[in-house]
Amino acid sequence: MSRMRDFFASRVHSFRHAFRGWGHVLRTQRNAWIHAVISTLVILLAWWLRLPVRDWAVLFVTIALVWTAEFINTALEAVVDLASPQQHPLAKTGKDVGAAAVLIAALTAVLVGVLILGPPLWEKIKVYIAQ
């Protein structure tokens, strides 16, 4: 029984660390708030459009991709700052590449959003215009 209790206790600690990291990103990264607002708007728009389940799945995976890139970029920046407190060209390169990963994820999310949300949104807009 002790093993099982230790297992669950360690999982609880792991979740605490993960949520602490999530809170850190939201407190310290301005772009995370942009991701949060856009994620919320996309979810509300998808709900309003009554998208099929498969489209929801693609949207959630895409949103998770952007958030994951942001979290990894934040972790990378922290580690680079720790390893190289002084400015160094390689530290700058590491941070720039991390930021590029977030940009690629965000641009991909925009494309996925347009492809999934665009057609049903256009249909709704045409209905409102026709009235």
**CA dihedral (118, 109, 67, 74) positive or negative:** negative
Name the residue with tokens 């309003």: 48
Q: Which of 69, 70, 80, 116 is catalytic?
A: 70
Name the residue with tokens 């720039």: 96
- How many of the other CB atoms lie within 10 Å of CB of 67? 19
Contact in structure between 116 and 58 (CB atoms under 8 Å):
yes
Residues 6 or more apart in contact with residue 30 via CB below 8 angstroms: none
Instruction: Identify whether 123 is a catalytic site residue.
Output: no
Residues catalogued as catalytic = 70
